[in-house]
Structure 1
Amino acid sequence: MKLRLGLLLVALGAFAGCDDVGGEVGRGEAVPAVAPPRLSPVELLPPVVDRSVTQRVEVRDPPAIPAVQVDVQRQADGIVDILWVVDDSGSMANQRQTLTNNFSRFLQELLALQVRFHIGVISTNYNDRGTLRGTTKVITNDTPNPQQVFLQNTSFPNASRVRLEQGLRMVELALTEPNLSGPNKDFLRPNAALAVIAVTDEDDSSYGDPNYYARFLRSLKGPGNENLSSLSVIGGTTPDGCYPPGEEIYFGGRADPAFRYSTAATKTGGIIGSICDVSFEATLLKIAAALNTLRRVFPLSLKPDPATITVRVNGNLISKDVVNGWQYRAETQSIIFLGNYVPPPGALLRFEYAFVIP
């Protein structure tokens, strides 16, 4: 009996360990029972637009804020070194006299322009090696009787004969060592403009291209200051030359065309005049005007209210006056001095004015 009961229990255990496909529990394909989905209807409604009038917003400019601007500028120094290169040949006797006769007018113009000058004289003669002439080698604003000193420095024997007239080369020698620290040491100032003025009835016969000498002059003041150096010439007109007054009847009286000097003058922005003019005054006045380094126009940094502008020079109030004061030019936003008054060399200018911040 016990044996039968045991066999029955074993059979029941084996039956319970098998699935419906005869395998072990968990090894058959599981097929879950899933209920069918239930869908609910969705109602689509048109959008609702609120067409009621909204309140308008007015955009206004912010209020203007008045402000004061002060511009401070400095006048140029007005310093110029003037080197005269004078032909010392005998044929130039009359022209040298014309030059000295007109020198006082040239000097007056420099003084009127408030130019602080150094004036020296060299010859075109190669034998002089570019050294400054005279006992008083450098004429300044403080030199007593500068007219007489200039006459002495430009006087040569009337019978002088020059074989090698090398004006351009003499300029180079005058402005380089050993002359700069030797006989010409008091002439050239580092902060001054340089003007070379050649007066001759013959063209230059220096070795080398005149463009070389033009580059030499323009390089003297350093990069960015090329325009501070110039060469002007009073010489024979190009292309045919000319006869100085009263010398038409003389053999060899014709002044040679100054091709080389004119080339150097053109390259350096100088003035070209004729040695055959009855007077050199017009040419000398042009040269003097070109030597004026004082500024007459001073731009403002902001657009001012013209009624509020005040101008002070070295602390002194300058009136708004066409002749003896300043004017404001709206088209250039500048203060200008076009009348008799020009701020002096090195002066400190103060421009104060109101402007509007938008």
Structure 2
Amino acid sequence: MMFTKNWKSTAVLRLLSVMGLASGLGCQDEKFLYLSQQTDRTVSQTAMIREVHGSSGVDILWVIDNSGSMATPQKSVVDNAEKFMEEFSKASVDWKLGLISTDDSEKPFLGFNSSFDRSSADPVGVFGRAVDSLGTNGSASERAFDPIINSLKNFPTFLRPKKALAVIIVTDVEDQSRLTAPQFLASFKSIIGDRPYYTYGIFGAPDFNCQAMDDRWQYAGSRYEEFMNSSSSHQVYPLCSADYGVALANIGRDISTVIARPQIDLTDRPETSTIRVDYKGRLLPGGPQEDGGYWYYDYGLNAIVFYSLEFSTDETDSVSITYEKTGGLVPAASAS
């Protein structure tokens, strides 16, 4: 938390207020003490294996280019939508979906004025018809970043509390938004808050061996690459792929996997360097799975997320977590 006045002076006044020594200073209404040091910061949590759960909820935002060159890619999305959707059915994912175009003068095409989610009838058909309705008469200045910000700002209820966000972009040119990539990311993160987000792209870039309308742009070093790499999980595929179904199935599967990974919610915000996870007296190291890690800390979820629970032998066994919690504001005791 940021303070606009000297924190040491504030801390002294607040302490005096609680002690009843600052009545002449107008501090009777202070509600918090700022604790720069805590004597007992160690937190211990235990969870049985069968209690470890996944978040299983995700809001999905599709951004599909609707300029004149996109008829074939749009048809490929429609033809393979079922392969994308069926991955959520397999994993019983609580999903919600929205669709916007790269023309920032257009309103959303699906999922913003009314919810489109797992309770909707014929989801594959509804999504396919919405993609068909995009057409190819959109602006030739294809923008993904500007419409993303506009739609999330104008429809704040699209994002559900405590759900992950997945963004999927389909286009054959570099983003031409007014916002630069850093400006977009700053605005995007201020809107979505601490929720985890995942990025996916299907791009018609020359360095993906695709014949692009503008052969000067490359995915490597592009605005899109910066956005894709900003998330903890991302995948990119060539727009000119002969098998769109594989790409869409992979994206659907990855979304289902990353949001449904088993996790233990933490009761306090940890000092990440102090986190220790043990199973039956054995230390489980954290870090990338390919480096032997069993788990990672997700700041947005404030949770320990496991890649799998294959290390366990009995669902009645327990996992223990210890860590040092961060300092901050705590409620001051009320005078009786």
TM normalised by structure 2 equals: 0.59
Q: CA deviation at 1:272?
A: 1.0
Cross-structure match for 1:342: none
1:217·1:230 contact (CA, 8 Å) conserved in 2? Answer: no
Cα deviation 1:91-113 (Å, max 9, x = unaligned): 11111000111110011112112
Cα RMSD (Å): 3.3
Cross-structure match for 2:316: 351
* Equivalent position SS for 1:271: strand
Q: 1:140 to 1:179 in 2, by over 3 A?
A: closer
Residue pairs, 1:57-68, within 5 angstroms: none
Q: CA deviation at 1:284?
A: 1.9
- 2:48 partner amino acid: D
1:236·1:255 contact (CA, 8 Å) conserved in 2? Answer: no
Cross-structure match for 1:295: 261
Q: CA deviation at 1:289?
A: 2.8
Q: CA deviation at 1:166?
A: 1.3
Which among 224, 237, 244 is matched to residue 205 of structure 2?
237
- 2:142 partner amino acid: E
Q: 1:134 to 1:301 in 2, by over 3 A?
A: closer
Cross-structure match for 1:203: 174
2:142·2:175 contact (CA, 8 Å) conserved in 1? Answer: yes
2:54·2:263 contact (CA, 8 Å) conserved in 1? Answer: no
Cross-structure match for 1:89: 67
Q: CA deviation at 1:168?
A: 1.0
| Higher RCO by CA contacts (8 Å cutoff, separation 6 or greater) | 2
Cross-structure match for 2:78: 100
Unaligned runs of 5+ in 1: 1-68, 245-251, 305-325, 337-349, 354-358
* Equivalent position SS for 1:153: helix
* Equivalent position SS for 2:59: strand
Which among 238, 249, 255 is matched to residue 274 of structure 1?
238
Compare the two structures and name the one with the higher helix fraction.
2
- 1:232 partner amino acid: Y
Cross-structure match for 2:116: 139
Using the alignment, how far apart are the partners of 2:114 and 2:47 within structure 1? 45
1:255·1:275 contact (CA, 8 Å) conserved in 2? Answer: no
Q: 1:222 to 1:179 in 2, by over 3 A?
A: closer
1:233·1:273 contact (CA, 8 Å) conserved in 2? Answer: yes
Q: 1:241 to 1:207 in 2, by over 3 A?
A: farther
- 2:230 partner amino acid: K
Q: CA deviation at 1:222?
A: 3.0
Unaligned runs of 5+ in 2: 1-45, 265-276, 283-307, 319-336
Using the alignment, how far apart are the partners of 2:58 and 2:317 within structure 1? 31
1:265·1:271 contact (CA, 8 Å) conserved in 2? Answer: yes
Using the alignment, how far apart are the partners of 2:171 and 2:137 within structure 1? 14
2:200·2:236 contact (CA, 8 Å) conserved in 1? Answer: yes
> Percent of aligned positions with the same letter in both sequences?
23
Using the alignment, how far apart are the partners of 1:255 and 1:101 within structure 2? 30
Q: CA deviation at 1:328?
A: 5.9
Q: 1:274 to 1:104 in 2, by over 3 A?
A: same
2:145·2:175 contact (CA, 8 Å) conserved in 1? Answer: yes
TM normalised by structure 1 equals: 0.56
